[in-house]
Chain A
Amino acid sequence: GAVVSQHPSWVICKSGTSVKIECRSLDFQATTMFWYRQFPKQSLMLMATSNEGSKATYEQGVEKDKFLINHASLTLSTLTVTSAHPEDSSFYICSAPGLAVTDTQYFGPGTRLTVL
């Protein structure tokens, strides 16, 4: 089945630094990937749609200059949290649309970001 990986699985950083999270589709190509944010005990909140070869599409209320997305290839999308602050601490999850199973998405294992 389709496998999506994320790196790192967790990261702790100081306030004001930037953090890059990678999302890779391991055995398939993905022209589109999605980035979600999840707070404790809450559902997934779509942040943006990453498009290979073009600009990402951000959901309302998500700062594009804060959360930089680059879809460098058909198997890699990156999310960079710039000038991170404690309120950016969250669980970030990426996903890619499934090919064999219609209308589904396959999720990465998530990245836990803690900003001190």
Chain B
Amino acid sequence: GQQLNQSPQSMFIQEGEDVSMNCTSSSIFNTWLWYKQDPGEGPVLLIALYKAGELTSNGRLTAQFGITRKDSFLNISASIPSDVGIYFCAGPWAGNMLTFGGGTRLMVKP
């Protein structure tokens, strides 16, 4: 499938700091999705983006769909301990299948 390159692979930050992660692709996507996975759980959808340039917020989370449609970023403001987890970007391909980025593991120090 299509490859999504997600960075950074991991982050260890202090509580209260802002976080930024991004995904890039060699192909154009019409949709970008951001999921969070808590340990031992399935991924939960955070934000869905459908339009190039779109900026969407969900509480302290903000995600943008890149103008080129080949990238997206996710920002988390004022991180808290419960933000700990793995964040995945994803995009649909070949119908309704999804391809995933490698994930960003976020660790927050109280």
Which A residues form the contact surface with B (CB < 8 A)? 4, 6, 32, 34, 41-44, 46, 49, 91, 93, 95, 97-98, 101-110, 112
Contacts and interface: CB of A to CB of B under 8 A. Distances in A.
Interface centre among A43, A101, A104, A107 (most CB of B within 10 A): A43
A43 B101 contact: yes
Contacts of B43: 44, 93, 107
A93 B42 contact: yes
Contacts of A98: 45
Q: Which 6 A-B pairs have the closest CB atoms?
A: A107-B42, A103-B31, A103-B92, A97-B96, A110-B42, A107-B43
A40 to B, nearest CB: 10
B14 to A, nearest CB: 23
A106 B45 contact: yes
B48 A103 contact: yes
B40 A43 contact: no
Contacts, number: 56
B65 interface: no
Contact of A103 (B41, B42, B96, B105): B96
Interface of B: 1, 30-31, 33, 35, 40-45, 48, 50, 88, 92, 96-98, 100-103, 105
Contacts of A104: 33, 45, 48
Contact of B50 (A102, A105, A110): A102
Interface centre among A91, A106, A107 (most CB of B within 10 A): A107
A34 B97 contact: yes
Contacts of A42: 102-103
A41 B105 contact: yes
B92 A44 contact: no
A41 B102 CA distance: 9
Nearest to A10: B40
Given A41-B105, A102-B31, 16 more contacts: A4-B42, A6-B42, A43-B101, A93-B42, A95-B42, A97-B96, A98-B45, A101-B48, A103-B31, A103-B33, A104-B48, A105-B96, A107-B35, A107-B42, A109-B42, A112-B40
